[in-house]
Amino acid sequence: MAKLWEAGTSGEALDKDVELFLSSLAVDSRLLQEDLECSIAHSRMLGKTGILPPEESAAITAALEAMLKEAAEGKLAVDADSEDVHSFIEAELVRRLGEAGKAVHAGRSRNDQVAVAFRLHMKRACKNTAFDVLDAIEAILSVAKNHTETLMPGYTHLQRAQPVTLAHHLLAWCAALERDYSRFIDNMNRLDESPLGSGALAGSGLPTDREYTADLLGFARPSRNTMDAVADRDACIDYASAGASLMVHLSRFCEDIALWVSTEYSFMKLTGRASTGSSIMPQKRNPDPAELIRGKAGRVFGNLQALLVMQKGLPYAYNRDLQEDKELFFEIEDTLHGSLKAFAVLVTSLVPDAARMEDALKDGYLEATDVAEFLVLKGIPFRTAYNAAKELVQICARKGKRLREIDQSDLAEAHQVFAECAVAPDLLTDYLTPTACVARRKQTGGPAPEKTRAEIARLESFIAAQRKA
């Protein structure tokens, strides 16, 4: 296996099993292009500072650029015997340039090399994931738009609670995803520092220029401390943590969907784009993507945990433990991408059954709070109004009728405040239609159609602005 370092003083070769165990090539060859970009910046810096003669720096830069082009075209075969992608790049450079290629590693170490290539990757990953989140929000909005007046029960404790609309429920998901989006963007901005030039831990005795390489690579600045730069994997934990929050959200949305498409709810159906059949039960349509997204959440939480434990108690600065970071990160990155893509399809494959959802508002006395609020508007203290409404619900339950079917005698039986306020049954029942209940809930964030329509418009322009920025 191509290695950058010499055998130990005893002259013994590294044990084959240990060598295989230590190798990270299978994982970090994913950083091939990023490392080449960073190596090019480093090589240019070596020329600019005079550490290397300009023609030597130019030759190395040109060879690395050729490798980058080949890598982008999928034509650069990574030598499977290399210890890691960083060793491969130097070995390949030497293979191409001979002695001249050996100059590239002046002023850097694999510790800052891996840190900078990984950071460049994470910076892009934050952006890509953030944009996948925007796509998911957009998919939800495309459904919500058509359902600002589609009534359905809102639940607490999985008990029917109050009437809402499907758009309002879907906008609750969007609110969570908007936070997820901002977490990935915050992380991207926070990690925007270049570790390159930090060397093994103490920088370099050569007159390297870290500002220059940071600038070439599009980082906002060099990292503040060379030991921190090679020891730190906070950005990786931040991404994993944002990913964990995102997966919590997606798995909750998916649970909602699984309930909605169940026979028991039958609020919606899923088209064939996002549901599968059973190999034995011909009648079934299963919401498999929803279930698998829910199932994938654990993988992301687990990798976050592994990343935290990987760093806990590590003495400064670099330790080989840190090599575990990339495999854990890539798995999270791929899981988030796959889950978000599938979720966008899933949500746009929902076919809501508006009549069935409205039907679910008939039983369960979801307008009981509104009975109390009707009395509050007549000057009755809320607790008294609450008790009167509760009595009325109990009477209706006893008589097997709905709140919207009450008459004068029910009111009289329930509580004296109804008489005191001269409540006319038909005025009250008009007040209690689900449409009326939803329409008057027009405070910020409420389910009133005018509010959800405004919120959809706000989110649409937010997404457009973010894509432009």
Q: How far is the CB of 318 from ligand ARG (least distance, A)?
A: 6
Distances (CA, A) of 151 to 146, 147, 162, 246, 296: 12, 8, 10, 27, 32
Nearer to ligand ARG (CB atom), residue 105 or residue 249? 105
Number of residues located near ligand ARG, criterion CB under 6 A: 11
Q: Is 415 a binder of ligand ARG (CB under 6 A)?
A: no
Q: Is 184 a binder of ligand ARG (CB under 6 A)?
A: no
Q: Is 260 a binder of ligand ARG (CB under 6 A)?
A: no
Q: Is 110 a binder of ligand ARG (CB under 6 A)?
A: yes
Q: How far is the CB of 323 from ligand ARG (least distance, A)?
A: 4
Nearer to ligand ARG (CB atom), residue 126 or residue 201? 201
- Measured CA to CA, the distance from residue 62 to residue 256 in angstroms comes to 55
- Measured CA to CA, the distance from residue 449 to residue 152 in angstroms comes to 13
CA atoms within 13 A on the CB side of 94: 14
Exactly one of 182, 204, 278, 415 is catalytic; name it.
278
Candidates 170-178, 181-189, 259-267, 317-325; binding stretch for ligand ARG (CB under 6 A) = 317-325
Q: Is 57 a binder of ligand ARG (CB under 6 A)?
A: no
- Measured CA to CA, the distance from residue 115 to residue 327 in angstroms comes to 14
Nearer to ligand ARG (CB atom), residue 320 or residue 468? 320
Q: Which of 139, 343, 165, 181 is nearest to 253 (CA)?
A: 343
DSSP track, 365-404: -TTHHHHHHHHHTTT--HHHHHHHHHHHHHHHHHHT--GG
Strand partners, 276: 286
Angle at 341 between CA 255 and CA 76, to 5 degrees: 140
Candidates 275-283, 290-298, 319-327, 331-339; binding stretch for ligand ARG (CB under 6 A) = 319-327
Q: What are phi and psi of 138, to 5 degrees?
A: -60, -40
Nearer to ligand ARG (CB atom), residue 110 or residue 415? 110
Q: Is 232 a binder of ligand ARG (CB under 6 A)?
A: no
Q: Is 29 a binder of ligand ARG (CB under 6 A)?
A: no
- Measured CA to CA, the distance from residue 28 to residue 264 in angstroms comes to 48
Element (H, E) at 44: helix 32-48
Q: Is 231 a binder of ligand ARG (CB under 6 A)?
A: no
Q: How far is the CB of 457 from ligand ARG (least distance, A)?
A: 47
Q: How far is the CB of 57 from ligand ARG (least distance, A)?
A: 24
Q: Is 114 a binder of ligand ARG (CB under 6 A)?
A: yes
Exactly one of 10, 157, 279, 461 is catalytic; name it.
157
10 labelled catalytic:
no
Q: Is 204 a binder of ligand ARG (CB under 6 A)?
A: no
168 labelled catalytic:
no
Contact between 409 and 426 (Cβ < 8 Å): no
Structure tokens, 275: 């549901």
Q: Is 322 a binder of ligand ARG (CB under 6 A)?
A: yes
Q: Is 323 a binder of ligand ARG (CB under 6 A)?
A: yes
Q: Is 365 a binder of ligand ARG (CB under 6 A)?
A: no
Q: How far is the CB of 306 from ligand ARG (least distance, A)?
A: 15
Nearer to ligand ARG (CB atom), residue 24 or residue 349? 24
Q: How far is the CB of 123 from ligand ARG (least distance, A)?
A: 18
Nearer to ligand ARG (CB atom), residue 312 or residue 383? 312
Nearer to ligand ARG (CB atom), residue 230 or residue 357? 230
Nearer to ligand ARG (CB atom), residue 323 or residue 433? 323
Distances (CA, A) of 274 to 277, 287, 341, 351, 382: 10, 7, 11, 11, 47
Candidates 34-42, 64-72, 263-271, 316-324; binding stretch for ligand ARG (CB under 6 A) = 316-324
Contact between 270 and 354 (Cβ < 8 Å): no
DSSP track, 134-190: HHHHHHHHHHHGGGSS-EEEEEETTEEEEEEEHHHHHHHHHHHHHHHHHHHHHHHHH
Q: Is 257 exposed, middle or buried (0-12, 13-18, 19+ CB in 10 A)?
A: buried
Q: Is 111 a binder of ligand ARG (CB under 6 A)?
A: yes
- Measured CA to CA, the distance from residue 243 to residue 306 in angstroms comes to 14
- Measured CA to CA, the distance from residue 165 to residue 438 in angstroms comes to 8
Q: Is 84 a binder of ligand ARG (CB under 6 A)?
A: yes
Q: How far is the CB of 148 from ligand ARG (least distance, A)?
A: 51
- Tell me, rounded to whole angstroms, the distance of Cα 125 from its chain centroid: 11
Candidates 69-77, 110-118, 271-279, 449-457; binding stretch for ligand ARG (CB under 6 A) = 110-118
Nearer to ligand ARG (CB atom), residue 86 or residue 404? 86
Question: Residue 109: which residues within 8 A CB-CB, separation 6 or more?
Answer: 198, 199, 200, 201, 230
Q: Is 24 a binder of ligand ARG (CB under 6 A)?
A: yes
Residues that are catalytic: 157, 278
Which residues of this chain interact with ligand ARG, rule CB under 6 A?
A: 24, 28, 84, 86, 110-111, 114, 318, 320, 322-323
